[in-house]
Structure 1
Amino acid sequence: METFRLLWSHPWGRRSLLAAAVIILIALFAPYIAPYDPLAIDVQHVLEPPTLKHPLGTDLLGRDLLSRMIYGTRVSLEVGLVAVGISLVVGTILGALAGYYGGLVDTVISRLIDIMLCFPSIFLILAVIAYLEPSILNIMIVIGLTSWMGVARLVRAEFLSLREREFVFSARLAGASDLRIIFYHLLPNALPPILVAATLGIGNAILIESALSFLGLGVQPPIPSWGNMLTEGKSCLEVAWWLSVFPGLAILFTVLTFNLLGETLQEITNPRKRRF
C-alpha cells in the first residue's frame, strides 16, 4: 500500500497508472466495447477511411479497424503478462540460488547468464520461432525463456547483499531451512527491483510480439494483433494510412505507459532517486 501511495503521489506515476488501467480495462471488456465483430468481413466497405460509422476506418477485407485494435489489446497484454511471468519465475529462482549459495552454484548460474546474454535476444527468438508453429502460446513461452537474465542478475545482487544481514543469521540460528529463508525472509525484501523489472518487461514483451507479428512469425491472421495489422497496412500505406498509423500509435502508447510506470517504480523504491 505504501508503494501504491508513493506511486499515486508521483505525477508521472499517477498518469501511467491511469493509462495502464485504461489499457487493462479495454482488454478485459473487449467484447462489450468493440462496436463490431473483429473477424466480420464486409466487402462493401473495403478500405473505408475513418468515418462516424467506422471511427478508425476499415481494412482490406472491410473489417472495422477499431474493433480489431480493441481485441488486439487483449493479445498484446496476454503475451506481455504471461511472458514476463515466465521470465520472473525462471530469473527469480536462478538469481536467488546464485545469490544465496554463492560458490560453485553462483559460478555456474552466472556463466549461464553470460552465455545467454551473448546472443541478441531478438535473433535468438527468431531462430526458435522459425522452427516452431507460430502461435500465441509459443510466442509467450519463447519470449519468457529468453528474457530472464536481467531478472536473475537483479535478484542475485539483492540476495548477495541481504544474505549478510542479521535477520538471516537469526533465522538460521532458529533452525529455518534454506527454502524458508529464501522465500520467506530474503525474497520479500528483494521485491522492489523485481517489480520494476516486471513492469519494464511487459513493454518489452509487447514490442517483441509486435515485431514478430509484423514479420509474419507471431500471431497469425485472422486473429487481430497490432503487429499483423501493421503488416497488412504496409502494402497500401499511400492509400490507406490509417491501417498502419493507428496500430503503430497503440504500440507506442502501451509500451511508453509501462516503461514510464517501471521508471517511476524504480524512482520511488530507491530513496536516493526520490525527488518528491
Structure 2
Amino acid sequence: METLALLWKHTWGRLSLLAVLVLIFVALLAPYLAPYDPLAIDVRHVLEPPSKIHPLGTDLLGRDVLSRIIYGTRISLEVGVVAVGLSLAVGTVLGALAGYYGGWVDGLISRFIDIMLCFPTIFLILAVIAYLQPSILNIMVVIGLTSWMGVARLVRAEFLSLREREFVLAARVAGASDLRIIFSHLLPNALPPILVAATLGVGNAILIESALSFLGLGVQPPIPSWGNMLTEGKSCLEVAWWLSVFPGLAILFTVLVFNLLGESLQEVTNPRLRPQRPQA
C-alpha cells in the first residue's frame, strides 16, 4: 500500500496507472464496449474509411476495426500478464536458490542463465513456435519460458545482498527453515525490483506477441490481434491506411504505458532515484 501511495503521488506514475486501469477496463468489458461483432463479415462495407458508423473504418472483409482493436486489447493483456507471470515464477525461484545458497548451486544456475542469454530471445521464440501449433496458449508459455533470465539475475543479486543481513541471521538462530527464510524474510524485501521487472516485462511480452502475430506465427485469424491486424493492413497500406495505423497506435500506447509505469515504480521504490527535499 505504501508503494501504491508513492506511485499515486508521482505524476507519470498516476497517469500510467490510470491508463493501465483503462486498458483492463476495456479488456474486461470488450463485449459491451465494442459497437460491432469483431468477426462479423459485411461485404457491403469493405475498406470504408473512418466515419460516424465505423469510427476507425472497416477492413478487407467489412469488419469494424474499432471492435477488433477493443477485442485485441483482451488478447494482448492476457498474453502479457500470463507470460510475465510464468517468467516471474521461474526466474524468482531460480534466482532465489542461486542467491541464497551460493556455491555450486549459484554456479550451476548462473551458467544455465548465461547459456540461455547466448540465444537471442526473438530467434529462440521463433524456433520453438515453428515446431508448435500457433495458439494463444503456446505463445504465452513460450514467451514466459524464454524471458525469465533477467528476473533470475535480478533476484539473485537482491538475495546476495540480503542474505547476510541481521534479520536473516536472527531467523536462522531462531530455527527458521530455508524455505521460510526465503519466502517470508528475503522475498518480501526483494519485491519492489521484481514488480518493476514485471511491469516492464508486460510491455515486452505484448511487443513479442504482436511481432509473432505479424509474422503469422502468433494469434491466428479470425481472432483479432493487433499483430495480425497489422499483417492484414500491410497489403493495402496505400489505399487503407487506417488498417495499419490504428492497431500500431494501440501497440505503441499500451507498451508506452507499461514502460512508464515500470519507470515510475522504479523511481518511487528506489530511494536513490527519489527527488531529495531540501533540508530546512
Q: Distance in 1 between matches of 2:109 and 2:206?
A: 27
In 2: Cα distance, 1:146 partner to 1:118 partner:
12
Q: How does 1:216-235 map to 2 (within 5 A)?
A: 216-235=216-235
Find out whether 1:157 has 2:175 as its counterpart.
no
**TM-superposition CA deviations, 1:4-41 (whole Å, max 9, x none):** 11101111101101111111100010001000000000
**Counterparts of 1:210 and 1:146 in 2: how far apart (Å)?**
16
Q: TM-score, normalised by structure 1?
A: 0.99
C-alpha distance in 2 between matches for 1:275 and 1:11: 13
Post-superposition Cα deviations, 1:213-261, rounded to whole Å, max 9, x if no partner, equal 0000000000000000000000000000000000000000000000000
Describe the SS at the equivalent of 2:263.
helix
| Structure-2 residue corresponding to 1:191 | 191
Tell me the TM-score normalised to structure 2 length.
0.98
Alignment length (residue pairs) = 276
Show the counterpart of 1:101: 101
Counterpart residue identity of residue 38, structure 1:
P
By how many angstroms is 1:155 displaced? 0.3
What residue number does 1:201 align with? 201
Distance in 1 of aligned mates of 2:62 and 2:130: 31
1:63-118 CA distance string (max 9 Å, x none): 00000000000000000000000000000000000000000000000000000000
Residue 211 of structure 2 aligns with which residue? 211
2:125 paired residue number: 125
- The one-letter code sitting in structure 2 at the alignment partner of 1:208 is I
Structure 2: segments with no counterpart, 5+ residues: none
SS of residue paired to 2:271: coil
SS of the equivalent of 1:134 reads coil
Give the fraction of aligned pairs with identical amino acids, expressed as a percent. Answer: 85
2:92 is the counterpart of 1:92: yes
Aligned-residue RMSD, C-alpha:
0.6
The secondary structure found in structure 1 opposite 2:237 is coil
TM-superposed CA distance for 1:165, in Å, is 0.4
The alignment partner of 2:190 has SS state of: helix
Residue matched to 1:239: 239
SS at match of 2:273: coil
1:26 has 2:26 as partner: yes
Code of the aligned partner of 2:188: P
Counterpart CA distance in 2 for 1:250 and 1:69 is 8
Task: Output the CA distance in 2 between the equivalents of 1:26 and 1:257.
Answer: 15
Matched residue, 1:68: 68
Structure 1 residue runs of 5 or longer lacking an equivalent are none
- Structure 2 SS opposite 1:175: coil
Is 1:274 the equivalent of 2:274?
yes
How far did 1:148 drift?
0.2
Aligned residue for 2:189, secondary structure, equals helix
Distance 1:130 1:4 in 2: 41
Shift of 1:174: 0.8
Paired position in structure 1 for 2:48: 48
Partner of 1:58: 58
Q: Quick one: distance in 1 between partners of 2:25 and 2:214?
A: 25
After the TM superposition, which residues 134-153 of structure 1 pair with which residues of structure 2 at under 5 Å, given as runs?
Answer: 134-153=134-153
4+ residue segments displaced more than 2 Å: none
State the 1:275 CA deviation: 1.7
